Structure 1
């Protein structure tokens, strides 16, 4: 029997998913002996979904939202969306513009770094603030990454990828948007173009190989259905070079998804 490869196969049972994720959050926090969670709130769909789920799992008093714009880059509407959601959820927030830290750092290093290098400094600065508050409060840092971006390495190593656990890492981006609708998030958040906002005008769709509707199906074909690139391309009626590029991005970003490797059986080197 031929497996389907269309948007229908990515539909999720949102009610069951909510129950499973809430239970996962509760058990993860309890197992760590943590008092709550810190979530970086960008105003985007991923962090908004995670914020809602954390509140439903732990209660608003155990969730701290950090809103960390770069005031010269982050759109004002993203900041307002994050603030509005936090108020609706009843959680504590800290508003921390990262400009002073980023600017100070960049002044101490050689000039000439490209925008990707500088953008990663912004992502890693946010990670540092997340862990400052997590350490101070006995909280865990909850990740907001989705499976689409994790599989192709579209995140900053030890930046937005530096977290303690990731409750929506099993959802493709299109599934996150389905789930956001179920959770009752505003349309302006659900349909907002994805962007890490690491430089002015950055849009995810300018940097990923293809729009998420197609990307998610390519990923599903390659990694869930174990199809070869040629078969995925044929089924989706896309160029095989596109599927190969998605596969290549997965392969070159493996280091982002694994614990740093070391020498195995090192005891054999003893004198």
Structure 2
């Protein structure tokens, strides 16, 4: 449940300004990086759909990669093609690459049938393909992660987390859904249960055990409004152990949001002390 207080803060926002800002920043970042365009891994979900539309508004030099596996619902592939049609992508602006053969070969080499290991292999295969296609075209890899997923650590490190920029990374899932509706994303995509599709039947809300409206409310109230856990429990009508679970997910996944820790030995360590371009002067 999303309290009305949170709904007003998160959903009642100026989407025209957000679209203008994000598309401008994408365009500037591509130019400043010396690249020619951007590539998105298009899954048929709300996050990649919104990101694809924003990228297409930012630059005509776009590419979209569909990378299904046997655990990808057919509906997701259909939804991805709907988005390609919506943004009027040409035939030479997208490819479909089935990753089953690559996944099976990795699984054979590692000798595993663990669905979590195999799921993360899929995510990392997709990252490799995106960067190969991007390098071929001198493009940037445009990430599709939203703020909710990033905060929870609900992504694969060096998989879908391996990108150059995250245009919607400061928008909660609830906001991305609302923005998607505003941008004309079909309702069935907006309302579809989010899923990485790393194994059959997987859904984000099912795996986490909480719906995204509640997740977003807890994240916002804790980390932006600084309410204590008891107050959040009362405001959202959520049991305290669930509130604590969501907050713990943020804390234990901090390593996924940062560069690898470098243990300081010298006088100045990379990352900790070298904060370019701030210190170029």
Is residue 68–residue 95 contact of structure 1 (8 Å, CA) maintained in 2? yes
CA RMSD of aligned residues (A): 1.6
How far off is 1:265 after superposition? Answer: 4.8
Residues in 1 aligned to 2:196 and 2:38: alpha-carbon distance in whole angstroms:
21
- Residue 79 in structure 1 maps to residue 77 in structure 2: yes
SS of structure 1 residue aligned to 2:234: helix
Residues in 1 aligned to 2:262 and 2:117: alpha-carbon distance in whole angstroms:
26
Provide TM-score, normalisation by structure 1: 0.93
Question: Number of residue pairs matched?
Answer: 263
Residues in 1 aligned to 2:264 and 2:21: alpha-carbon distance in whole angstroms:
36
How far off is 1:84 after superposition? Answer: 2.5
- Residue 170 in structure 1 maps to residue 170 in structure 2: yes
How far off is 1:243 after superposition? Answer: 1.1
Residues in 1 aligned to 2:82 and 2:162: alpha-carbon distance in whole angstroms:
26
Provide TM-score, normalisation by structure 2: 0.90
- Residue 10 in structure 1 maps to residue 13 in structure 2: no
The aligned residue for residue 36 of structure 1 is: 37
Is residue 209–residue 246 contact of structure 1 (8 Å, CA) maintained in 2? no
SS of structure 2 residue aligned to 1:6: helix
Residues in 1 aligned to 2:131 and 2:100: alpha-carbon distance in whole angstroms:
18
SS of structure 1 residue aligned to 2:208: coil
The aligned residue for residue 97 of structure 2 is: 96
Q: Using the TM superposition, name which of 252-261 and 230-239 deviates more.
A: 230-239
Residues in 2 aligned to 1:247 and 1:85: alpha-carbon distance in whole angstroms:
34
How far off is 1:90 after superposition? Answer: 2.7
The aligned residue for residue 69 of structure 1 is: 68
Residues in 1 aligned to 2:208 and 2:100: alpha-carbon distance in whole angstroms:
27
Relative to structure 1, the CA distance from residue 36 to residue 245 in structure 2 (aligned partners, 3 Å threshold; closer, same or farther) is same
How far off is 1:180 after superposition? Answer: 0.5
Residues in 1 aligned to 2:204 and 2:268: alpha-carbon distance in whole angstroms:
47
Residues in 1 aligned to 2:211 and 2:166: alpha-carbon distance in whole angstroms:
23
Residues in 2 aligned to 1:259 and 1:211: alpha-carbon distance in whole angstroms:
29
Residues in 2 aligned to 1:268 and 1:53: alpha-carbon distance in whole angstroms:
39
SS of structure 2 residue aligned to 1:51: helix
Which consecutive residues of structure 1, in runs of 5 or more, have no partner in the other structure?
A: none
Residues in 1 aligned to 2:197 and 2:4: alpha-carbon distance in whole angstroms:
35
Which consecutive residues of structure 2, in runs of 5 or more, have no partner in the other structure?
A: 270-281
SS of structure 1 residue aligned to 2:238: coil
Relative to structure 1, the CA distance from residue 187 to residue 218 in structure 2 (aligned partners, 3 Å threshold; closer, same or farther) is same
Match runs of 1:20-169 below 5 Å: 20-59=21-60, 62-70=61-69, 72-91=70-89, 92-111=93-112, 113-169=113-169
